[in-house]
Structure 1
Amino acid sequence: MARKIFDLLIEFCVNYSFRVLGGVIVLVCGWILGKFLAGVVYKQLQKHQVDVTVSKFIVTGVKFAVVGFAVLIALGKFGIEIAPFIAGLSVIGFGTSFALQGPLSNFAAGAILIFTKPFKVGDIIEVVGCVGEVEDMSLGRTLLRTVDGTHIVIPNKHIVGEVIHNDSEAKRVDIKVGVSYDSDTAKAVNIIKNILDADSRISQKIKPKIGIFEFADSSVNLYARLWCRQLEYWDVLFDLNKKILEAFNREHIVIPFPQSDIHIKTAPEGVRRV
């Protein structure tokens, strides 16, 4: 019995060892060749300054194409018929596509984003209520980093079809401050203008806008709209508010608070109070 088993092992090794060895060699060579070609393609894309997101997509596609071709050859070496195998995979893939509609829709949306390029890695965007810098982008998801360092992962299917605000060049800063009706509004506007002009963090590509915004119940509301880098947004906003308050106090510009005037009238003599 042991002799028969030994003979079967010898026969199997003689008949199939070279096939198995050949298949393994094809797989290893395919993996090495895929990595090598992916590296060459990536360098060429970088040389021609192709967008990093598109570069990663193309490089990944090249690598998987080479490795996939090597797998098909290796299957032939193992004695597996490729045609029925591919047919079986297509049937399985067709059935799986219904079960994986969510992930597949993310991949389709990712491909749309990569080639339409509404934004790229490094851009500051606002989408589906999230604001941050695009740190990474793949077929399935987009990774944002907010101003406070929080990472947000957004499935790509939730981005396609939404309104995307790209604030890469500058983010808008809105400042509204009220002054009393007795104050010199022209002087107040000039004070704010001087403060904005003195701050080097404020973008000069888009000139700041300053003026009277509205006439409220207790104040004349002044409004300033300016732009700065996304990462400096909160620092700029806080610093400008502080400087405006200090300058108004120094120049005796009154910032009023809501108040009501109550007038008490004395009833004439002889009039009965109820």
Structure 2
Amino acid sequence: METFLSWVNQAVAAVFEWAPKLVGALIVLAIGWWAINAITRITKNAMQRSKLDRDVIPFLSSIVNVGLKVLLFISVAGMIGIETTSFIALLGMAGLAIGLALQGTLGHFASGVMVLLFKPYRVGDLVDIHGNVGSVEEIQVFHTIIRTLDNKRVIIPNGTATSDIMTNLSTHKYLRVDLEAAMPYEEDFDKIQQIIKSALASTTGVLKDPAPTVEILGFGENNVKLAIRPYAMVDEYWNVYFNSYKNVKAALGANHVQVAYPRRNISVLRGNSSSSTTVAAKPGAARKNNDDKGAASASGSSSIH
């Protein structure tokens, strides 16, 4: 019984001894946490007002936030009664173990530093990183955040961004828009070229310098393939892409340029005479061609080649 009472007395004494320290430590932790978040916000606003490179601001803000919180935890540990020297040594050992376990994460951190130093891309640039095309919203300590063209938020580890091929589409401020069209062999190329160039000149967003080009890309079975190459600013790329096709289609129709339908030459032999005709595979023509073939097959003295 005396042993139990002695243990209770020791427990009560320990509570009265440690309770003020614990309460004080928790209060300091709560106030310190709030203060650190406030300091981080103030520091971030100050860096923005100082016109510091906006690529660096999120990175430095994260470092300030993490560093102050580490100092806060060390201070709270000292208030509780933990020897800070031992705690710092223990923290160093834990940091080494964590560093070995998180080599990939630390690699992302180093890659983030490289991105900020060498600036292969900046906040606001249109980039293609690991197959993700979009605008860079933020460069953080471990990640780069991209807003894709279909309004998705993609978070890419900095190590992945720097270890793979990345394409910065904003470096030269404008892009070439690759379009294709086709013209019948019967049409004059110079005429078609002028029609398409006039249509591009009236398309909003198409740059005059460098000027658009319209050239022959190749020869198909039923038409001549054309390469249409206007230029546009980065933020106007998709408007130019769709509007150019729309205006070229309208201009070709207005100038009575026929669509290059597939054509077939059919020769019909009747005795010693022969005749030939050209059939275009327009909509509804397939059924007509089948009827013609049936009629030709019904005649025992005719053949189709």
What TM-score do the two structures reach when normalised by structure 2? 0.73
Q: Check conservation: 2:223, 2:260, Cα contact below 8 A.
A: yes
Q: Could you tell me how far apart the structure 2 residues matched to 1:180 and 1:89 are?
A: 76
Alignment of 1:100-249 (within 5 A): 100-168=102-170, 169-204=173-208, 206-217=209-220, 218-228=222-232, 233-249=237-253
Q: Which runs of 5+ in 1 are unaligned?
A: 269-274
Q: Kindly, what percent of the aligned residue pairs are identical? A: 27
State the 1:230 CA deviation: 5.3
Q: Check conservation: 1:33, 1:66, Cα contact below 8 A.
A: no
The structure, 1 or 2, with the larger RCO (C-alpha pairs under 8 Å, 6+ apart) is 1
Q: Which runs of 5+ in 2 are unaligned?
A: 273-305
State the 1:13 CA deviation: 4.1
What residue identity is the alignment partner of 2:116?
I
Secondary structure class of the residue paired with 1:52: coil
Number of residue pairs matched? 268
Query: Which deviates more from structure 2 when the two are superposed, residues 69-78 or residues 208-217?
Result: 208-217
2:298: which partner in 1?
A: none
What residue identity is the alignment partner of 1:99?
A
Q: Could you tell me how far apart the structure 2 residues matched to 1:232 and 1:196 are?
A: 14
Q: Could you tell me how far apart the structure 2 residues matched to 1:86 and 1:17 are?
A: 24
What residue identity is the alignment partner of 1:93?
G
What residue identity is the alignment partner of 1:239?
N
Q: Could you tell me how far apart the structure 2 residues matched to 1:144 and 1:63 are?
A: 23
What residue identity is the alignment partner of 2:86?
P
Secondary structure class of the residue paired with 1:160: helix
State the 1:73 CA deviation: 1.8
Q: Could you tell me how far apart the structure 1 residues matched to 2:66 and 2:155 are?
A: 25
Q: Could you tell me how far apart the structure 1 residues matched to 2:114 and 2:270 are?
A: 76
What residue identity is the alignment partner of 1:45?
M
Deviations 1:40-84 (A, max 9, x none): 321221112223342111112112222211221221121112223
- Determine which of 98, 101, 118 is the counterpart of 2:100: 98
State the 1:202 CA deviation: 2.7
Secondary structure class of the residue paired with 2:176: strand
Query: Which deviates more from structure 2 when the two are superposed, residues 43-52 or residues 84-93?
Result: 84-93
What TM-score do the two structures reach when normalised by structure 1? 0.81
Q: Could you tell me how far apart the structure 2 residues matched to 1:99 and 1:259 are?
A: 68
Q: Could you tell me how far apart the structure 1 residues matched to 2:144 and 2:262 are?
A: 45
Secondary structure class of the residue paired with 2:230: strand
Q: Check conservation: 2:146, 2:153, Cα contact below 8 A.
A: yes
Q: Classify 1:234/1:31 alpha carbon distance in 2 versus 1 (closer, same or farther; 3 Å).
A: same
What residue identity is the alignment partner of 1:172?
R
Higher Cα radius of gyration: 2
Q: Could you tell me how far apart the structure 1 residues matched to 2:98 and 2:69 are?
A: 22
Q: Classify 1:102/1:259 alpha carbon distance in 2 versus 1 (closer, same or farther; 3 Å).
A: farther
Aligned alpha-carbon RMSD (Å)? 3.1
State the 1:197 CA deviation: 1.8
